[in-house]
Every structure is written in C-alpha cells, then in structure tokens.
C-alpha cells in the first residue's frame, strides 16, 4: 500500500512537471493586443499565481475580487504576481476585456486564451482553476473552484515559498 501511494505521488509530480513544460510555447493575447508565453512569467525572483476564469463565471469573479482586496497588503509582505487567464473565445473577447477594465483588478496581469490551448495543456476542465508556481516556474499548488477563505489558504502556500 505504501509503495502504491509513493508511486502515485511520484507519477503525479512527474505529470505536473511535464504539464507545465508543455505550456512554454503557447501564445496568449495580452490586454493591449500583444502576445506573451507562459515561459515569460518565470523571473527567478517571485512566485506567481495563474487563475483560469471566464466572463460568466460567478465564482471566478468572486475569487478575483477577494484577491484584489488583499493583494497590495499581501504583496508588501510576500511578493507574488497574479495572472488571470480568460478562456472565453474570440466572440466574447470584447466583453472579457471590458469586465477586466471595469473592476478593481489593476494590480493583476490578464491574458486571453481564446483557443483554450493553454487551458488544455494545463488540463483545465472548469473554472475557476488556480495554479501556484514558484519563482522558477515549478508548479507547487493547484486548486479547483472557489469559496470564501480559499484565498487565505493560497496565501499560506505563497508564504511557504519564502
């Protein structure tokens, strides 16, 4: 039984590492119409959170609102970055950009995965789906869904990376 648990944990770790490596060349659209790849988020200095969301997802918006309320305070204590990955297709891109601009999410970076290529590579099947990467781009935590208080657990995980 112990060998099975250890083998399963090792297989999951390998899968997550490979999963993250398969995303390096995916191009995502930025808010201003440029492009960026996930590999560009790795700076060797600060961890980063990647949260997949879509325009009509009530819980996605609640999660980003909750994080935006504490983001400045938390990043003063433990620096990290937040990247919101919108998975709406091109038909909803205008609505997604308008939503981002109308909310108090100015400290966040937003990208648009209109073909869901990045979401598929990360095995995202529903939203919100949040991933925490360390400063070197290693996936260290993943969480599906949102309930009030989940952001506190996330911050504990971020602080553990110090």
Tokens of 121: 């590579």
Instruction: Please write the tens of the pLDDT for every residue from 43-88.
Output: 999 999 999 999 999 999 999 999 999 999 999 999 999 999 999 9
Find out whether 29 and 111 touch, Cβ atoms under 8 Å: yes
* pLDDT at residue 36, rounded to an integer: 96
**Domain residue extents for the chain:** 2-159
Look at residue 153 and give its three-state secondary structure.
helix
In whole numbers, what is the pLDDT of the chain averaged over residues?
88
* pLDDT at residue 3, rounded to an integer: 46
Specify the fold of 2-159. Answer: Glutaredoxin (3.40.30)
Tokens of 40: 């560009």
**Whose CA is closest to 51, among 18, 100, 101?**
100
Give the dihedral of Cα atoms 66, 107, 74, 59; nearest 10 deg: 20
* pLDDT at residue 7, rounded to an integer: 39
Q: What is the pTM of this model?
A: 0.85
Find out whether 58 and 128 touch, Cβ atoms under 8 Å: no
């Amino acid at each position: 039984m112990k060998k099975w648990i250890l083998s399963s944990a090792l297989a999951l770790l390998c899968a997550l590492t490979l999963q993250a490596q398969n995303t390096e060349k995916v191009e995502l659209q930025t808010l201003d119409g440029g492009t960026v790849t996930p590999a560009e988020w790795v700076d060797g200095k600060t961890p980063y959170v990647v949260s997949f969301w879509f325009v009509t997802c009530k819980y996605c918006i609640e999660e980003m609102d909750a994080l935006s309320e504490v983001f400045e305070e938390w990043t003063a204590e433990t620096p990290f970055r937040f990247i919101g990955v919108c998975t709406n297709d091109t038909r909803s891109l205008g609505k997604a950009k308008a939503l981002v601009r109308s909310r108090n999410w100015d400290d966040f970076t937003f990208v648009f995965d209109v073909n869901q290529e990045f979401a598929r590579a990360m095995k995202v099947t529903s939203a919100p789906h949040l991933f925490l990467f360390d400063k070197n781009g290693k996936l260290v935590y993943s969480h599906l869904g949102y309930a009030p208080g989940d952001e506190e657990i996330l911050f504990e995980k971020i602080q553990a990376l110090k």
